[in-house]
Amino acid sequence: MITVSEALAIIARHTPPNPAEPVALGEGRGRILAKDVVSDTDWPPFETSAMDGYAVRLSDAAVPGSVLVERANTVAAGDSPPEPILPGEAVRVMTGAPLPPGAEAVIPVERARREQGRVRFEIAPEPGSHLRHRGESIKTGTRLLEAGRRLMPGDVALAALAGSDPLAVVARPRVAIAVTGDELVAVGVRPRPGQIRDSNGPMLLALCGAGGWPASSRGRVGDDASGIEALFDAAGDGEDVLVTSGGVSAGDFDMLPEIARRRGFEILFHGVSLRPGKPVVFARRGPTLWFGLPGNPVSTSVCFHLFVRFALGRLEGDPSPGAPRVAAELARGIASAGKRETYRDGILTHAGATLRVEPLATAGSHDIAAHARANALIRLPAESEPPASGAIVECLLL
Ligand code: AMP
Ligand code: MG
């Protein structure tokens, strides 16, 4: 059986980044840029005032108490650049207004008093005070944002000031979710004895939503060959990645891998040395990828975080795809490790400058109650000794 890192390497070989597509600037947050954003302007784009105040020449206001002639017209933000400042003149300028050429400082209105067409200044300004110079923050032609960056709200502001709308981003993979099992009923239905509500379907949609990946539901499919065949025959019709839960273990009704193969999928791996989640499947047919996740809800979630998230991140061009990993101090020892690489639920918190992780007690891979409380998975390497309290462990952020 392959290891988790071998599985990730196989996934990486089949998940080149999607092509670029244009997206309206307002829809850009969270997307991965496909092309650099280069500024078509200086920023600020003109000499401008940082305060509501008076533009002056330094030699005219060299001492506190100077009195200057006030120009009749105030310059507001949005006005055209005014005429040059004359000797002995003060020009009233509002924040963001273009400055008159020759202005060497702005004195805030709070430090000025109007006296019949003249202004008296309490202070002598520092050279350049409250002026913003053209291009002091950004020069025309500067690369503002690099391809591969996931756009944050501040990046959207940068792209906007540089006139970059629409943006070129990497197309997001489209996901379809299906759950399998004769025991499953819809959430709105009270299960009869022997039945359970489908919790994986809603969870997988929520996981895709959390990652920003558009996902649709293919509903529930029973453990019968014809329904599963129909599911695989329709795969790729509107999605890049099909994600299923259930039906991939060694049970009598676990038929998905065999039917997928018959329907033209190449199985790239089936089974990873991992706990929970060992029976996970990864396959492809042409451009369509299939992840068959085991049905136990914690296994479904762990496999999503480990493998599906990694694949979707790569397809959308994320340079560091997959759940972020951090090192943390174990708050309590873990009694058992194991032969297989193991992922345990944990609650990660800040303890001063370090991260601490508290392992959660779990009843097993069906124990979604414990898993739902976790904000991290503690990774225990294969064949490792059980880690003691205080040990440094690797955690995946959920
Ligand atoms: P399977 O992987 O099909 O063998 O299922 C393993 C376990 O997960 C069984 O106890 C199933 O009842 C349960 N299970 C399968 N699918 C779901 C689902 N969609 N929601 C909740 N539990 C499920
Ligand atoms: Mg099943």
Residue 337 has pLDDT above 90, yes or no: no
Q: Residue 337: enclosing H or E segment and its boundaries? A: none
Pair 185, 196: CB distance under 8 Å: yes
Nearest listed ligand to the Cα of residue 204:
1
- Residues 43, 184 contacting (CB under 8 angstroms): no
- Show the tokens assigned to 104: 């060497």
Average pLDDT, the chain: 97
Query: pLDDT tens digits for 178-235?
Result: 999 999 999 999 999 999 999 999 999 999 999 999 999 999 999 999 999 999 999 9
pLDDT tens per residue, range 76-98: 999 999 999 999 999 999 999 99
- Average pLDDT rounded to a whole number, residues 317-328: 97
The SS3 of residue 12 is helix
Residue 328, phi then psi, degrees to nearest 5: -145, 155
User: Among all chains, which residue has been given the structure tokens 């065949």?
Assistant: 229
Asked if residue 217 lies in contact with residue 178, where contact means CB atoms within 8 angstroms, the answer is yes
- Tell me if residue 283 falls in helix, strand or coil: strand
- Residues 355/329, Cβ–Cβ less than 8 Å: yes
Ligand closest to Cα of 244 equals: 1
For ligand 1, say whether the CB of 179 is within 6 Å of any of its atoms.
yes
The reply to whether ligand 1 has any atom less than 6 angstroms from the CB of 245 is yes
Ligand 1 and 365: CB distance under 6 A: no
CA distance 45 to 132: 10
- List of residues 6+ apart from 188 with CB closer than 8 A: none
Q: Which two tokens stand for residue 170?
A: 């990497």
Q: Is the CB of 295 under 6 A from ligand 1?
A: yes
pLDDT at 336: 80
Give the lowest-confidence range in 12-21, 81-90, 335-344, 345-354. Answer: 335-344
The answer to whether residues 37 and 93 touch, using CB atoms and an 8 Å cutoff, is no
| DSSP per-residue codes, 127-186 | TTTTEE-TTSSB-TT-EEE-TTPBPPHHHHHHHHHTT--SEEEEPPPPEEEEEE-TTEE-
CA 195 to chain centre: 37
Ligand nearest to the CA of 219: 1
396: β partners: 325, 377
pLDDT digit string, tens, across residues 22-52: 999 999 999 999 999 999 999 999 999 999 9
Q: How far apart are CA 209 and CA 3, in angstroms?
A: 28
Distances in Å between the Cα of 231 and the Cα atoms of 223, 224, 248, 269, 295 are 12, 11, 15, 20, 17
Mean pLDDT lowest among 146-150, 202-206, 238-242, 338-342? 338-342
Residues near 193 by beta carbon (within 8 Å), at least 6 away in sequence: none
pTM over the 0.85 mark: yes
> What is the mean pLDDT of the segment spanning 147-152?
97
Measure 292 CA to ligand 1 centroid, in angstroms.
Answer: 12
DSSP 248: -
For the CA of 248, the closest atom of ligand 1 is 2
Neighbours of 271 (CB within 10 A): 18
